Structure 1
Amino acid sequence: MKVLQFTVPVAIDKSIILQKDVLPYFYPYLHRHQEVQLTWVQQGEGTLVADNNMHAFRPNDIFWLGANQPHIFKSDPSYFLPRNRKKVMAQTLFFNSDGALSALFNLPEMKPLKNFVLQQQSGFKVPTPQTTEISACMLRIINTSGPEQLMHFVELLRLLSGYPDIAPLAAVNKKVTVSDHDGIRIGNIYNYIMHHYEQPITLEDAAGQVHMTPHAFCRFFKKHTRRTFVSFLNEVRINEACKKLTDGDYDNIATVAYTTGFNSITNFNRVFKSVTGKSPSQYLNNYFQHVDQG
């Protein structure tokens, strides 16, 4: 894996690029592109890595990714198993406000929406109560063309810009500059952790994946991710634990702890609270309260 500067195919007669994916798993490379991306996950689950932050995704989640924001929709490991019959499905909209749409965004009437786009460089997840409204608007864009499609696109931006308190996907707005060479290393580390998080992983194991000494690896990882390797590994494990808890496929919290790489329930509870701000039981209660209210 590397941070690829991805080129989105652009149709000659289109300023808004639409893409429908029906695949065994999502595009497996950490990448970025000049276009803003709005992805509606219709089928599939896994972890979205945006910059250096992780977010679980499930069917009907919608994510905005800023221009040139490194990201990867990492499908759950089960999607890569032999004889896997699972599929992912997504609808994605790409646009470049500095490209073919620049004349539109430079109109005085579009200033609020242009400012909104510029302010969302760190991306965001569409709030759950608004996913039905936004997915319906995306379908109107997909199913129309010409001026009508452009009108629906402007309406989409208007709706998104009106939602209060949108939380960014990445905690910081300042982008970390990553060369292709370092991007390869970071991508390999992410890939290794996401496929082996349930197993014991030592600092030496991770450093060996990129052929570095543990000391050099620690400095490299902290420089490019602004966190320690252990804190990143814990976040991956807790992110997976949150998905397992809310999916309801496990009998108890202890089972979830041991299947996400923790060797004691005490340590799991401590790390879980440090990452989420809640105990596992509080997290579950809060999650299902929101589900019931929805």
Structure 2
Amino acid sequence: MSSRYPEPINPTRTSIGWIGIGVMGHAMAGRLIAAGYTLSIYARTPSKVAALLSLGATLAASPADLAASSDVVFTMIGHPSDVQQIILNTLLPSLTPNTVVIDHTSSHPDLAKRIYNSALEKHCYSVDAPVSGGDVGARDGKLAIFAGGDYDVVRWLTPLFDELGQANYVGGAGKGQSCKIANQIVVGGNLVGLSEGLVFAEKAGLDKERFVEAARGGAAGSMAMELFGKRMIERDFRPGGFAEYMVKDLGMGVDVADEGEAVVVLPGAALSKQLFAGMVANGDGKFGTQGVITVIERINGMGG
């Protein structure tokens, strides 16, 4: 880092900007405010940030205004097209030298590399840092953070990441996004397997709660079961992450290969993507990913 940052990040010295106040972003921004940081927030729908403003955040008039006044800018938005529009086209032209952009959006590795190179041209830094852990992890500060970019920059950001969860440095620009895609391949498979296990248990006449309690201590136990087993049983499909985003994430693994790299054959991920896409086709794309059980139920004539 440059001499502009002679001391560690400190709530009284570091200006934070935040864009993206969905389920995850709202909880994550709230944790930084609770830690003493003052956040400038931009939201297309200002009413969504009322609770954060009451805690001391300020509302920026535009992404450009936010960028110009921040030392560190966080983004947690929707799709790669949003990332390109907000970061590449709007934020980067307005950054002052040595500003750091942290993109928590699950996006494409190649886009993360483009942002990294464009930031360097502005004498700034970028870190692609998608997360895993859902709304519970965001609320409790226990997210897994997959950080790609310059190691020294990621290390400098540690005080901020520590408020959100555990940062894992996984390599250069774009590697954070590649790590998240690999993570989603595993998560998608776990959720499909859990859904099928619960549907089978019900068809076999088992009490589903007893099944989960019995299985959680064995090889079938997983974080997916801990986070989503009870929600599936109770038909709680409130989103920590939207099902339509899982389709996006799995698609980046199944459908896209980086230029110059071999295409990876992922039959399980392809099936998972198809099942989550079935949720979207059924009008349930805004359900949480645990709602994939409804697709398995429909296949088995259980109504969904």
Normalised to the residue count of structure 1, the TM-score between the two structures is 0.30
**Higher RCO (CA-CA < 8 Å; seq separation 6+):** 1
Normalised to the residue count of structure 2, the TM-score between the two structures is 0.30
Whichever structure has more helix as a proportion of its residues is 2
Whichever structure has more strand as a proportion of its residues is 1
